[in-house]
Amino acid sequence: MKKNIVVLGGGIGGMEFLTQAARKLDLNQYQLILVDKNELHVWKPMLHTFAAGSAHASEQGINYLEQAKRHHFLFQPGDIGQLDLTHKTISLKAYTNKKGQPILPQRQLSYDYLVIALGSQTNDFHTPGVKEYAYSIDDLHNALRFHDHLKADIIQAAILGKKHHVVIVGAGATGVELAGEIAYVVHQAKQYVDHDFTQYIQITVIQSGDKVLPNFKDEVAKAVGHTMQNIGIRLILSERVKAVAADHVLLASGETIPADQVAWTTGVKAPDFFETLDVARSKQDQLIINDQLQLLDYPDVFAMGDCAAIQHHPVPPTAQAVTQQAAYLSEHFSQIISHTPNIPAFAYKDYGALVSVGRFQSFGIFGHNIEVKGLMAKLAHIYLYRRHQIRILGLWRGLCAMLADKFRQQAR
């Protein structure tokens, strides 16, 4: 009888592990199963482009069912209701369509080995009004909800000349890239009307620290800030949001900022249901794992990416980190579960960081000292995404996806 290897989460880590493990494991002995609440896999660093409307998930996404057929794993759509680590079972909530109509009932899966790759969610720090009035951009569903609202605002601005205020809380990479992408979409959209309506869209970014991109070097952060201001984005630094309301945000200083739409992009934490697990967790509720990505008290359970923290040397919550973890785990999985001695520990390598302000300017840091901007940084950003596509789809399908994107761009 085959042993079940269940993967929770079809993001970067989950999909890259599944695709690579399917090639390396004996599928006569193991059944690979993916659980995800969405139908499509998307590259998480692209979520801000779906939120802004400059890219479309239907074109960039990879269908889980098609990927499952190609790589001989099963796809179980659904959201996790409960995880029982003692009895090795996973309870899935009923799966419904967009109208709330049931498609699949509540189900229970059993596993022999479990890989948790659920990523992270936005941390609102219990700020009043965030849950009611702000959008997070932490998964595809939320990104598309944000876009629906933004699209309506742009139409009103173009036709009625109505002023709209978009406020983004947090000037980390997601906040900066979202602001830049919205600015790009607004500048592009003005081609379709006979007047400049960009004056009716005000984008404001609020950051509690004294600079944008707090994890970047001061020189890069300053250059990014200048670029944002040059394209009309308002920056409010060294200010904390005290509350979010239906039509404004309240700052700790007492000032109110008009807000028709708020994106909350600051802070990350692990999925809420981790709180029900009797395991070691970090301050952000991440699962504590060892150097071979196993839970400390459950060696048959693995975790990677934003939802996990290695016990003695945590890695940053980035796409490159989870990509490296997925490659490590798929390479050594059979050795780890068979208790082979002298398996190397996971070692993270920091290759740098990249950020783009829409299509206006790109910046990057490679290694510790090499700074790039403009075309080189833009090409590096594109390379990371295309490399991920090829790892998931294979060389031929990955190249076809690139060509399809180019043809769609020309058609538009």
**30-71: pLDDT as tens digits:** 999 999 999 999 989 899 999 998 888 888 889 999 999 999
**133-160: pLDDT as tens digits:** 999 998 899 999 999 999 998 888 888 8
Residues 100-122, mean pLDDT to the nearest whole number: 92
Q: What is the pLDDT of residue 59?
A: 87
Lowest mean pLDDT among 105-109, 159-163, 169-173, 370-374: 370-374
Q: How far apart are CA 375 and CA 8, in angstroms?
A: 37
Least Cα distance to 200 among 219, 217, 187, 215 occurs for 187
Measure Cα distances from 317 to 67, 183, 305, 348 in Å: 25, 26, 7, 12
Work out the pLDDT band at 367, boundaries 50, 70, 90.
low
Token look-up 């000292």 returns: 369
**250-260: pLDDT as tens digits:** 999 999 999 99
| 288 pLDDT more than 80 | yes
Q: Name which residue leads in pLDDT, 58 or 74.
A: 74
Residues 176-201, mean pLDDT to the nearest whole number: 86
Q: How far apart are CA 235 and CA 260, in angstroms?
A: 17
Residues 217-242, mean pLDDT to the nearest whole number: 91
Q: How far apart are CA 281 and CA 173, in angstroms?
A: 25
Q: What is the pLDDT of residue 284?
A: 84
Q: What is the pLDDT of residue 370?
A: 66
Residues 376-394, mean pLDDT to the nearest whole number: 84
The strand pairing partners of 164, in sequence order, are 201
Assign 228 to helix, strand or coil: helix
Contacts for 359 with CB less than 8 Å, ≥ 6 apart: 54, 180, 184
Q: How far apart are CA 325 and CA 329, in angstroms?
A: 6
What's this model's pTM, rounded to 2 decimal places? 0.91
CB atoms within 10 A of CB 314: 16
Q: How far apart are CA 297 and CA 85, in angstroms?
A: 10
Q: Name which residue leads in pLDDT, 251 or 97.
A: 251
Measure Cα distances from 258 to 72, 164, 167, 226 in Å: 51, 9, 8, 23
Burial code (b: 16+ CB inside 10 Å, e: under 16) for 177-201 equals: bbbbbbbbbbbebbeeeeeebbebb
Residues 310-324, mean pLDDT to the nearest whole number: 90
Q: What is the pLDDT of residue 194?
A: 75
User: pLDDT averaged over the chain?
Assistant: 90
The proportion of the chain whose per-residue pLDDT surpasses 70, expressed as a percent, equals: 98
